[in-house]
Amino acid sequence: MCRWLAYAGSPVYLDEVLFKPANSLISQSLHARKSHVVTNGDGFGLGWYDAKAEPGLYRDVRPAWNDDNLRSLSEQIRSNMFFAHVRASTGTSTSRANCHPFRHGRWLFMHNGQIGGFDRIARELDFMIAPELYRQRQGNTDSETLFFLLLTFGLERDPAAAFRHAVERIEGAMAEAGVTDPLRIAAAVTDGEHIVALRHSTDRQSPTLYHGMATGIRGADGQTCCVSETGSLFVSSEPLDAEIRNWTAVAESSLLIAETGKVEVQPFRS
């Protein structure tokens, strides 16, 4: 399974979040603590917002821990909203087009999990994607399929409803094909202003997901400096440090809706 991180708050240089925490995303790419797949070396990606409405995007197939360009760029890019993802493939090829996050207009999307039996229902799911959107697909992952289903089902108007409709249609296709492998989702989307994240599965074994507030990363020990009601927002596959009291686990079948300084978690019903 993959590991990912979403950040919203005061502008920071990306390396402050990606490299410096005690359990940074780059550390997780080598030694994930809350995943049965310890190493996530099948590519990585960054998506960030700055002066333009549409986000910047940098993706590559090399392992995140072994890319000097990633470190150099992250030391120079400053943003108040960004996504970062390290990939462990569930079967599709290791290519730049299959690396997260995926971008469409002002939207970014990233995912950790799987659509069970995807090879058996991929064609049916493809037919659900709006034709004008399908032509813009670049890769062949179940994650990108989920993103384009969200766009088809009204992501720009109502992200929560889009997640409900997409999951309902995916689960329906799985049931019709007799798929018994699980659907597992820990995914996030953003338009540069809000973050919407879903943790959901058909077997109640969703990939882990946490959120926390912090004012920054403290010194050489890499601990987050958290303030309960203020500071910047982190949504991540794992806590970035050992200060567990500063992190809240997102419950199974929950939808998180967040902006800087405010987080709402509600039950998810497909």
Structural domain boundaries in the chain = 3-112+186-262
pLDDT value at 228 more than 50: no
- Mean pLDDT is lowest, of 20-29, 74-83, 103-112, 185-194, for 20-29
Burial (CB count within 10 angstroms: exposed 0-12, middle 13-18, buried 19+), residue 195: buried
In which band, very low, low, confident or very high, does the pLDDT at 172 lie, cut at 50, 70 and 90?
very high
pLDDT value at 225 more than 70: no
In which band, very low, low, confident or very high, does the pLDDT at 229 lie, cut at 50, 70 and 90?
very low
Gap between the terminal Cα atoms of the chain: 23
User: Residues for the chain: how many in total?
Assistant: 270
Query: Domain 3-112+186-262 adopts which CATH fold?
Result: Glutamine Phosphoribosylpyrophosphate, subunit 1, domain 1 (3.60.20)
Of 99, 89, 114, 102, nearest to 186 (Cα)?
114
Beta strand pairing call for 254-259 and 262-267: antiparallel
Most confidently predicted of 41-45, 93-97, 158-162, 244-248? 158-162
Token pair recorded at residue 155? 């992501």
- Mean pLDDT is lowest, of 39-43, 151-155, 158-162, 206-210, for 39-43
In which band, very low, low, confident or very high, does the pLDDT at 10 lie, cut at 50, 70 and 90?
confident
